[in-house]
Amino acid sequence: MLGETIPLSGYSSGSQWVYLFLTGPNLPVNGVMLNDVTKRADQGYFTRVAVDGNDYWSYKWGTSNVNGRLDEGTYTVWVVNAPNDRSNLANADYRTLSVTLTSPSIAVDSVQLNGAMDLASIPSGAAVTINGQYRGTTPFSVTDLRPGTYSVTFTREGYYEFTTPVPVEAGGISRISATLAAMPEPTPSQAAPAETQAAAATAPVTTTKASGLLPALALAGLLVIGAAGRRH
């Protein structure tokens, strides 16, 4: 990667020095110094590195300190046992190393804004589940919701359950107020008149239940005020 320090090393026998030069994108064809790309190898400029007693050499190439610009791409490092540029390698012993340089990348974590709901009901005190999970009793707010559509259910003893879909937007607040419909009171039983039997015996009193005609169910009212406000 551009800007990094790249370790280079190898073996070379028969010389106390190796001479390094670089070729690659937008550089002179016969090469330049590794530590100064403005100086050309065909003008006698090389990066000279000592060879130790084991014929080993090493060099740390700082790609951020080259006295010039390196473009993205693949470069060739030439390692020669004499100060010969690329046009004069016929009588030299040399090796090459390939190095690919890329631009530094910056990773940015995307921030996911949550949304919220303000939940209320008439009467208050209704238990609320969101996508089947209990979240509290009205009135209250939920602030940890990812954008999307949720199934919200209101339940309270003596009232019909009410369920509705509620959209939530990133950074927004969805306000929901549900008016719950009361369940009807149980229909009282009616007693039939007793019939007089002979010998002053009293027949058991039988009762019949009146037909359970439920009053018309008033639909629960729901006011959904869409994303009424953006959080800042």
Among candidate residues 50, 48, 30, the one with its CA nearest the CA of residue 40: 30
Give me the architecture of the 5-101 domain, per CATH: Sandwich (2.60)
User: Which residues, including other chains, have CB under 8 Å from residue 19's CB and lie 6 or more apart?
Assistant: 46, 47, 48, 49, 79, 80, 81, 82, 83, 84
| CATH no. for 113-182+219-232 | 2.60.40.10
Specify the pLDDT at position 110.
62
Counted residue by residue, the chain has a size of 232
The structure tokens listed for 23 are: 């070729």
**pLDDT band of 109, cuts 50, 70, 90:** low
| Digit-coded pLDDT (tens) for 177-198 | 999 999 998 776 644 454 444 4
- The larger pLDDT score, comparing residue 222 to residue 121, is at 121
Per-residue pLDDT for 2 more than 50? yes
* Omega before residue 123 within 30° of 0, cis: yes
Specify the pLDDT at position 218.
37
Q: Where are the domains of the chain?
A: 5-101, 113-182+219-232
The structure tokens listed for 81 are: 């046992």
pTM more than 0.75: no
| Digit-coded pLDDT (tens) for 27-51 | 999 999 999 999 999 999 999 999 9
**pLDDT band of 224, cuts 50, 70, 90:** very low
Domain 5-101 and domain 113-182+219-232, same fold? Reply is yes
**pLDDT band of 15, cuts 50, 70, 90:** confident
| Digit-coded pLDDT (tens) for 79-107 | 999 999 999 999 889 999 999 988 876 66
Query: For all residues of the chain together, what is the average pLDDT?
Result: 82
